[in-house]
Amino acid sequence: MAVVPGRVFGAGGEGFIRCSHASSRDDLQRALERMGKFRQAAAWQPQQSPGTVGAL
């Protein structure tokens, strides 16, 4: 799984990430579990933009 900052796609992408997931379902599940552990360990909080759904 690759994660790219949303800002590289223009000003509207600021505060978002883009995930490329050209992998098997099992690999994606492991990647998401690792990302969740990182988020918990870093006490990271997602940014929320008005009017967005599911933004990170």
Q: d(Cα 29, Cα 5) in Å, to the nearest integer?
A: 21
Average pLDDT rounded to a whole number, residues 24-31: 88
Q: Report pLDDT for 26.
A: 92
Confidence of residue 46 (pLDDT cuts 50, 70, 90): low
In contact, 25 and 31? CB cutoff 8 Å: no
Confidence of residue 49 (pLDDT cuts 50, 70, 90): low
Domain positions in the chain: 2-42
CA of residue 20 relative to chain centroid, distance: 10
Dump the DSSP string for 39-53.
HHHHT------TT-S
R_g of the chain computed on alpha carbons: 13
